[in-house]
Amino acid sequence: MAGTPYIVTRGIVLRETESKEADKILTLLTDKCGKIAVIARGARRKSCKYAACVQSLVWSEWTLYQKGDWYYANEGSTVELFPGLRSDLEALSLGFYLAELTEAVTTENTPAPELLRHLLNGLYALSALHKPPALVKPAFELKLLCLAGYEPLADGCAYCGRPDPERPMLDVVQGVLRCGTCGVQESALSMPLCPSSLAALRHIVYGDPKRLYSFTLGDDALRRLSAAAEAFVAAQLERGFRSLDFYKSLQPLN
C-alpha cells in the first residue's frame, strides 16, 4: 500500500479473540504503543504468513498500520515463543494469568516498558529457567502491583513501628504490615505471614528486580506468601481473573 505509514514494534499477544470469518482480534502489549487492539486479517487460515505470531504469549516483531480507530497487522516474525510453556499445562496456565494481570494494570496507547519487561521476565522464568509456578506466581503478583503503583509498606509494623512485627500480618486493603496484636480495630482484611514469608515479600518488593525469582521458601511459608499476594491482588484491583481460577483448578486439593 503506497503511502501507508507503517509502525514497526515488538509486541506480545496478551489475548486473542476470534472475529468474523478467519480474522482474529489480538490484544498486544507493544514497546512503542503500549497496549493496543490489532485486527489480524486471515489469521485463522493455514496460509496466514504470520500464523505463529498470533498465538497468546508469543513475542514478535510486528509491522502494523492504523486505519480509523484500529490497528491492523501487516507482517510479523516471532522473536520468542516461550516453548517451555507450550509443553507444560501448569506453566502455560500461569502464563495466561500473568498476561491477564498485566492487561488489567496497563492502559491503551500508553507505553509501559517496566510492566512489559516484568511480563517477559516472568514468562522466561517459567519457560526457560523452569522456576516453579508456585514461586513465580506470588513474586510476579507482588512486583506487578509495585510497578503499577500499589507498593505495600513492608519495612515495619504500621502501628508500633517494629521492624520485625510480632506474628506479622499483611493488611491487604491498606497495603501495610502490622503485628498480630497491633491495629486490630483499624485494620481491614489481613493475611498471616511468618518471618520467612515476610523476608521473601521484602526481597520481592525491595530487592534487585534481576533477582526477583532467586529465593527459596519452605512449603508452608510459600503457601502463606502466595495466599497473601493473591488476596492483595484481589483487594487492590477489586476483581477476579478467569485465568487464575483455571490455574487453581489444576492444583491438587490439600
Judged by the rule CB under 5 A, the positions of this chain that interact with Zn ion are 157, 159-160, 179, 182
CB of 178 to Zn ion, least distance (A): 6
CB of 244 to Zn ion, least distance (A): 31
Task: List C-alpha distances in Å: 142 to 156, 202, 226.
Answer: 17, 10, 10
CB of 160 to Zn ion, least distance (A): 3
CB of 157 to Zn ion, least distance (A): 3
* Nearest residue (CB) to Zn ion, 19 versus 187: 187
* Nearest residue (CB) to Zn ion, 129 versus 160: 160
* Nearest residue (CB) to Zn ion, 126 versus 198: 198
CB of 175 to Zn ion, least distance (A): 16
* Nearest residue (CB) to Zn ion, 130 versus 167: 167
Task: List C-alpha distances in Å: 126 to 27, 54, 108, 109, 180.
Answer: 22, 21, 27, 28, 34
| CA–CA dist 81, 101 (Å, integer) | 20
DSSP annotation of 253 reads P
* Nearest residue (CB) to Zn ion, 82 versus 159: 159
* SS3 state at 135: helix
Task: List C-alpha distances in Å: 78 to 9, 119, 181.
Answer: 12, 17, 53
